Amino acid sequence: MLEINNLCSGYRGVQVLNEVSLNVPKGEIITLIGANGAGKTTMMRTLSGTVETMSGTILFQGKPIEFRPTHYRVEKGLIHCPEGRELFPNMTVEENLLLGAYTIKTKDKIRENFEKVYNVFPRLYERKSQRAGTLSGGEQQMCAIGRGVMADPKLLILDEPSLGLSPKLTEEMFVLIMQINQTLKTTILLVEQKVADTLEIATYGYVLQTGRIVAEGPAAELKNNSIIHKAYLGI
């Protein structure tokens, strides 16, 4: 689905990612974990094209996309739910979701996607006429993910969906993410700092440290990896 080779990128004058390679096979949940400032968000922005690629390649469904604009990548089904939700606060939940379906051309398909989203997040249906800015943190996160699902993602990139959620809500969120993966058959690239929970639902994981991949492996193995133990699980 997504194949990243030797990717370098960053901001004006500062390189953040250094020769990162990563692979997301179709149908799976792949996770990228790393501490604050490791470059996870930068990586996701580079994938969606809101940060420019300096060198390296990004193959999406076999085709290079690293020099394509963001709207092209979205049309192809690469959907990035950004860190911090980034909703349209003065618009209603429904209007937010509708904007998520911006690249979907037919009314029937949009209606179908609304149903999908409301099935996974019944809470959003109850709140559909409420302004997104007035939702609770958990509801806002649901709205952000729902907005991503509205675009018929082939690959859904979730950047810290648990940010600001209580442990209980985080667990619920992970269940919902798994549900999207299984019932909607959406491939997911999940960025997280809640490592233990994440490794429960992911199939394979990568560890990013100051812009480099320092460990990778099947989720079950990473749970026992000593780097991860020391750095993230605090055991």
Ligand X SMILES: Nc1ncnc2c1ncn2[C@@H]1O[C@H](COP(=O)(O)OP(=O)(O)OP(=O)(O)O)[C@@H](O)[C@H]1O
Positions that interact with ligand X (CB under 6 A): 11, 14, 16, 34, 36-42, 83, 193
Binding status of residue 52 toward other proteins by CB under 8 A: no
Judged by beta carbon, residue 110 or residue 165, the one nearer ligand X is: 165
Judged by beta carbon, residue 30 or residue 156, the one nearer other proteins is: 156
Binding status of residue 74 toward other proteins by CB under 8 A: yes
Q: Are 21 and 7 in contact (CB under 8 A)?
A: yes
Judged by beta carbon, residue 77 or residue 205, the one nearer other proteins is: 77
Q: How far apart are CA 128 and CA 139, in angstroms?
A: 11
Count of residues in contact with other proteins, rule CB under 8 A: 25
Judged by beta carbon, residue 102 or residue 125, the one nearer other proteins is: 102
Judged by beta carbon, residue 69 or residue 122, the one nearer other proteins is: 69
Binding status of residue 125 toward other proteins by CB under 8 A: no
Contact with Mg ion (CB under 5 A) among 7, 17, 22, 41: 41
Judged by beta carbon, residue 38 or residue 74, the one nearer other proteins is: 74
What is the 3 state secondary structure string of the chain?
CEEEEEEEEEECCEEEEEEEEEEECCCCEEEEECCCCCCHHHHHHHHHCCCCEEEEEEEECCEECCCCCHHHHHHCCEEEECCCCCCCCCCEHHHHHHHHCCCCCCHHHHHHHHHHHHHHCHHHHHCCCCEHHHCCHHHHHHHHHHHHHCCCCCEEEEECCCCCCCHHHHHHHHHHHHHHHHHCCCEEEEEECCHHHHHHHCCEEEEEECCEEEEEEEHHHHCCCHHHHHHHHCC
| Shortest distance, position 216 Cβ to ligand X, whole Å | 16
Q: How far apart are CA 203 and CA 198, in angstroms?
A: 10
C-alpha distances in Å from residue 13, one per residue of 56, 69, 147, 208? 18, 21, 33, 21
Site mask, Mg ion, residues 5-24, x = CB under 5 A? --------------------
* 36 contact choice in ligand X, Mg ion, other proteins, none (CB below 5 to 8 Å, kind-dependent): ligand X
Binding status of residue 50 toward Mg ion by CB under 5 A: no
Contact with Mg ion (CB under 5 A) among 28, 83, 200, 221: 83
Binding status of residue 154 toward other proteins by CB under 8 A: no
- Which residue's Cβ has the minimum distance to ligand X? 41
* 38 contact choice in ligand X, Mg ion, other proteins, none (CB below 5 to 8 Å, kind-dependent): ligand X
